[in-house]
């Protein structure tokens, strides 16, 4: 035999030398949930190791992450009140806005990303304005712009619209330009599927729709060509980073988007992907360290530059 591929797998040193994919702390983004109050650190039952924080404890968590080498977080808010149009999402003293300031006051270099969407702030739990049982596109845009601007004003470095309304990236980009926030980045949830794997998140963020589902705005899991269309549109509209979500079940889509843009590609290793592994580990059915790394390497191998994942602390600790 002339070719013996096993020669390159002979020992750990050789395997590390020829490894084609790397996982770095710099690639990782930790999602954090912030709610009103003081001294709060409440565990989220369906997501072991993940908590609800108040703005003060949020900064402590950011500090811990920073010390572990995790330099970016994405914030989700649980507001004081909800209404039809999600107005609590754009208050200057809203919970996310206070969270941003608290992190920036304590860990100024931390890259703060904010999720921009209405579902956490609306009484009906949909990501847009609802009239007669329908989620309306264009009337939603002004609310998204307002929310994104309020995050920028509070000091956010990156806004991440996750609503899937058409034209929202352009609207937000124009809003930021007009108000002098031309340096604020947009990481758009460009390719976001209507996925059952958001289940634990919706419990954590109290954002489940009160009627119907999100299929009239989020993408159909059966589609892949549509992913290229969505990614291209958001790029044209002024996005800086394109995200695919979920990640692990959609590795083909991550690769497709990677091959069709020159922008950085992020992939969201969502709550259900996290909880599924945690549950199997608790049952003794899977090895956590091994499966976690395999999951994240797979996402990198598919072409993601950045990964949003609830495993940040565990990975950072493992990387030594
Ligand atoms: C808000 C939003 C969701 C997630 C991120 N932003 C939920 C949804 O679209 O219903 C899901 C994140 C996760 O599952 O980890 N629109």
Query: Quick check: is 6 in a domain?
Result: no
φ/ψ of residue 270, rounded to 5: -75, 175
Per-residue pLDDT tens digits for 14-64 = 999 999 999 999 999 999 999 999 999 999 999 999 999 999 999 999 999
Alpha helices in the chain (DSSP H): 12-18, 55-67, 95-106, 138-154, 168-178, 199-205, 225-236, 251-259, 271-282, 288-301, 312-318
Q: What is the DSSP pairing of strand 158-161 with strand 28-34?
A: unpaired
Instruction: Return d(Cα 54, Cα 168) in angstroms, integer.
Output: 29
The residue contributing the CA closest to ligand 1 atom 11 is 198
Q: What is the dihedral of CA 214, 215, 218, 219, to 10 degrees?
A: 160
Query: Quick check: is 85 in a domain?
Result: yes
Query: Quick check: is 14 in a domain?
Result: no
At a CB cut-off of 8 Å and minimum separation 6, what does 303 contact?
254, 255, 257, 258, 259, 265
pLDDT band at 130 (very low <50, low <70, confident <90, very high): very high
- pTM metric for this prediction: 0.97
269, 262, 260, 264: which is closest to 297 by C-alpha? 269
Residue to mutate (ligand 1; options 49, 76, 82, 198; most atoms within 8 A of CB)? 198
Q: What angle do CA 301, 247, 130 make, to 5 degrees?
A: 155
Per-residue pLDDT tens digits for 242-290 = 999 999 999 999 999 999 999 999 999 999 999 999 999 999 999 999 9
pLDDT band at 320 (very low <50, low <70, confident <90, very high): confident
Per-residue pLDDT tens digits for 154-190 = 999 999 999 999 999 999 999 999 999 999 999 999 9
Distance 11 CA to ligand 1 centre (A): 41
Q: Is 233 exposed, middle or buried (0-12, 13-18, 19+ CB in 10 A)?
A: middle
Instruction: Return d(Cα 220, Cα 298) in angstroms, integer.
Output: 22
pLDDT tops 90 at residue 208: yes
Query: Quick check: is 68 in a domain?
Result: yes
The residue contributing the CA closest to ligand 1 atom 6 is 162
The boundaries of the domain holding residue 83 are: 21-318
Query: Quick check: is 174 in a domain?
Result: yes
Ligand 1: atom nearest CA of 164 is 16
Per-residue pLDDT tens digits for 50-106 = 999 999 999 999 999 999 999 999 999 999 999 999 999 999 999 999 999 999 999
267, 277, 215: which is closest to 245 by C-alpha? 267
Active site residues: 192, 245
CATH number reported for the structural domain that contains residue 235 in this entry: 3.20.20.70
* Domains held by the chain: number: 1
Instruction: Return d(Cα 52, Cα 76) in angstroms, integer.
Output: 10
Assess contact for 169 and 238: CB atoms under 8 A: yes
Query: Quick check: is 277 in a domain?
Result: yes
Query: Quick check: is 87 in a domain?
Result: yes
Ligand 1: atom nearest CA of 270 is 15
Query: Quick check: is 34 in a domain?
Result: yes
């Amino acid at each position: 035999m002339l070719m013996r591929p096993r020669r390159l797998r002979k020992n750990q040193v050789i395997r590390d030398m020829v490894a084609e994919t790397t996982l770095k702390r710099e690639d990782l983004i930790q999602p954090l949930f912030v709610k009103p109050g003081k001294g709060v650190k409440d565990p989220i039952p369906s997501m072991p190791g993940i908590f609800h924080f108040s703005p003060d404890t949020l900064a402590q968590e950011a500090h811990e992450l920073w010390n572990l080498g995790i330099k970016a977080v994405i914030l989700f808010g649980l507001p004081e009140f909800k209404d039809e149009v999600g107005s609590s999402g754009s208050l200057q003293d809203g919970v996310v806005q206070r969270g941003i300031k608290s992190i920036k006051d304590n860990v100024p270099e931390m890259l703060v990303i904010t999720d921009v969407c209405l579902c956490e702030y609306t009484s009906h739990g949909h990501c847009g304005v609802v009239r007669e049982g329908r989620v309306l596109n264009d009337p939603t845009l002004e609310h998204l712009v307002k929310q994104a601007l309020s995050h920028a004003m509070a000091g956010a470095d990156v806004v991440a619209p996750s609503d899937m309304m058409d034209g929202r990236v352009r609207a937000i980009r124009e809003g930021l330009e007009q108000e002098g926030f031309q340096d604020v980045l947009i990481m758009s949830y460009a390719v976001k599927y209507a996925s059952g794997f958001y289940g634990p998140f919706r419990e954590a963020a109290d954002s489940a729709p009160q009627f119907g589902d999100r299929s009239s705005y989020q993408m159909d899991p059966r589609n892949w060509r549509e992913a290229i269309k969505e990614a291209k549109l958001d790029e044209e509209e002024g996005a800086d980073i394109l995200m695919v979500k979920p990640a692990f079940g959609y590795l083909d889509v991550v690769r497709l988007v990677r091959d069709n843009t020159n922008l950085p590609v992020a992939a969201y290793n969502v709550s259900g992907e996290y909880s599924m592994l945690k549950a199997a580990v608790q049952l003794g059915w899977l090895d956590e360290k091994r499966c976690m790394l395999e999951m994240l390497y797979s996402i990198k191998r598919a072409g993601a530059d950045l990964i949003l994942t609830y495993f940040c602390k565990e990975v950072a600790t493992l990387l030594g």
